[in-house]
Amino acid sequence: MNSTTPSPTPPTPSRNKFFGSTVFSRGSYAEALRITEILRKETVGGALLVAAAVIALIWANSPASDSYFALRDFKVGYEPWHLELSLGAWAADGLLAIFFFLVGLELKREFVAGDLRQISKSIVPVAAAVGGVVVPAVIYAVVNLASPETLRGWAIPTATDIAFAVAVLAIIGSHLPSALRIFLLTLAVVDDLIAITIIAFFYSSDIQAAPLLLALIPLGIYTLLAQKYRRFFGRHAAAAWLILLPLGAATWALVHASGIHATVAGVLLGFAIPVIRSQASGGPEAGPGLAEIFEHRFRPISAGVAVPIFAFFSAGVAVGGWEGLGSALSDPVALGIILGLVLGKPIGIMGTTWILTKATRASLDSSFKWIDVFGVALLAGIGFTVSLLVAELSFGHGSLHDDHAKVGILAASLIAALLATAVLRTRNRQYRVAEELERVDSDQDGVPDVYQERA
C-alpha cells in the first residue's frame, strides 16, 4: 500500500486453549517436508498394493485357482516353536509386523517431536480418527445385530489403508493444500493405533502368561540397547540388523506364542526406539533420531514388500461369478462393511470435526473449505490392509464369512475411492487455477510466493 496510514487492526478472535483459532493449520515447514517424503514412498507402496490385490483376484478366479490357494496354504516353519504357519499366515502375522513397526515409529515421532506434540494440533485428528472408528463400528453392529456369529466382525470397517488412500490422493490431488495431506496421514496413523489396540484386546485368545512374560526379556534388552547406543545403531546399519533384529524376532515369536496377535509386537518394538538423537539434546531440533533413521530404512521394505505380499495372499477370494458376487454382497457381513466404510467413515470424521469446531468456536484454516475435508473423509473409507487382517481374525482364514467380508472390503474401498475422486478432482482443479493466478500476481509484483514454492 502507498498510504502510510496503518490498516485498522481486526479484533483478535477468542482462542480456545486446545484449538487456537484455526483447525488443520499448515504446520511447520520441516514437518511438511517430512510428511511429503513419507507420502511419496507410500504412494509407490499403494500402487504395488493395488497391483498385488488385482493379481490375486484374477488368479483366485482363474482356471488355475487351485494353485493360488495351494500356494497360500502351503506351510513352512518350525512346529515345536508353534511357527509352522501357512504362507498366508506368515504374511499376516510376520510381514505385517514390519508395517506396524513403522506405525509405532511414526506415532512416537509425531507425538514426541512432530507437530502433534502440541495438543492444539493433535486433538482434532485424534478425535476425528475416533469418530471414524466408532460410527462405522456402530453401523456394522446395527446391520448384524441379529447374528452373534457375524457381529464379531464389528471392527472390520474401522481401519483406513494409508498406502491405498495416499496413492489415490497423489493421483487426483496434486494441487490440494498440504494441510489436507498431513491431516490424512495423521488420521490414518492414529486410526492404525486404534486398530492395533482393538486387535490386542478383542482379537487375542487363549493368552499364555509364560511366553508373554518371557517376551519382556528380549524386549527389555532391545529397548536398553536402542536407547543407550542410539547413535551407534544410527551410524552402523549392519549393527542394527545383527543385534537388534534377532532380539526383535525373539520378541515377536514369544508374543505370537502367547496368543496375542504378533503384530502388537511390531508396535511395541517401534515404541522402544528413541526419537531424539541423544538424551542431552533436549529437543526435536537436534537432528534426526534413531526412529527417523529407521523410518528411512524400513519404510521401503514395508510399503514395497511386506504390505503388497500380504495383500496378495489376503485379497485372493474366489467370487464365483456374478451369482457368487451377488450372494456375497447380500450377506449382512459385506453390507455392514460397505455401509461402515462408505458412509460411516465420512460421517464419523466430518461429524466429529464439525462438532469440535462449533463447540470451541474454532474455524477452518483459510487455505481450504469444508468440502475438502469431506473429500478426505471419503478417502478414509478406503479400508484394505488392516480390514483384511481383522476379517481373518474375526471369521477364520478362508471361511465363507471371511470371503464375503473381503468382497465387502474390496467393494467399499473401490466405491470410497471413486466418490473421493469425484469430490477432490474438482477441488484440485480449482486449486490449480488459484495457484496459477497467484503465480501471475507474484511475477507482476516481483514478490515470489514462498509458501507456494516450498509446497
Helix (H, G, I), strand (E, B) or coil at 290: helix
* Residues in CB range of 269: below 8 A, 6 or more apart: 101, 104, 219, 222, 248, 251, 252
Domain ranges in the chain are 24-204+261-436
pLDDT tens for each residue of 159-208: 888 777 877 877 776 677 777 777 787 787 788 788 888 888 888 777 88
Q: Confidence band (pLDDT; 50, 70, 90) for 358?
A: confident
How far is the C-alpha of 390 from the C-alpha of 195, rounded, in Å?
Answer: 9
Residue spans of alpha helices (H) in 286-339:
290-301, 307-315, 321-330, 332-339
Residue entry with cell 449382512: 332
Phi then psi for 404, rounded to 5 degrees? -65, -35
Q: What is the pLDDT of residue 7?
A: 45
pLDDT, average across residues 147-162: 88
Euclidean distance between CA atoms 424 and 418, whole angstroms: 10
Query: 63: buried, middle or exposed (CB in 10 Å: 19+, 13-18, 0-12)?
Result: exposed
For the residues of 4-56, what is the DSSP string, one character each? -SPPPPPPPPP-BTTTBTEES----HHHHHHHHHHHHHHHHHHHHHHHHHHHH
Q: What is the mean pLDDT of residues 80-102?
A: 86
Distance CA 323, CA 191 (A): 35
pLDDT at 257 over 70: yes
Collapsing DSSP to helix, strand or coil, 275 comes out as coil
Residue 280, all three cell numbers? 542431552
User: What SS3 state is found at 367?
Assistant: coil
CA atoms within 13 A on the CB side of 259: 11
Q: Which three cell numbers mark 307?
A: 504390505
Task: Supply 367's cell numbers.
Answer: 487455505
Each residue's pLDDT tens digit, 393-437: 888 877 888 889 999 999 999 999 999 989 888 887 777 776 666
Residue 250 confidence (pLDDT): 94
What are the distances in angstroms from CA 312 to CA 50, 229, 319? 9, 38, 16
pLDDT value of residue 25: 55
Query: Which cell numbers hold the place of 340?
Result: 461402515
> Residue 73 corresponds to which cell in the numbers above?
496354504
Secondary structure (3-state) at 207: coil
Can you give the pLDDT at residue 259?
82
d(C-alpha 200, C-alpha 210), whole Å:
17
Interatomic CA distance for residues 334 and 216, integer angstroms: 39
Question: How far is Cα 44 from Cα 163, in angstroms, rounded to an integer?
Answer: 8
The pLDDT of residue 435 is: 65
Residue 382: beta bridge partners? Answer: none
pLDDT at 11 over 50: no
How far apart are the C-alpha atoms of 432 and 218, rounded to whole Å? Answer: 52
Does the domain at residues 24-204+261-436 carry the CATH identifier 1.20.1530.10?
Answer: yes
pLDDT in tens, 307-320: 889 889 888 887 77
Spatial contact of 289 and 230, defined as CB atoms under 8 Å apart:
yes
Average pLDDT over the chain, rounded to whole? 80
Residue 21: pLDDT over 70: no
**In this model, does residue 28 exceed pLDDT 60?**
no
Give the phi and the psi of residue 16 in degrees, each rounded to 5. -70, 145
C-alpha span between 87 and 80 (Å, rounded): 18
Nearest 5°: phi and psi at 86?
Answer: -70, 160
Tell me what the mean pLDDT of segment 144-149 comes to: 88
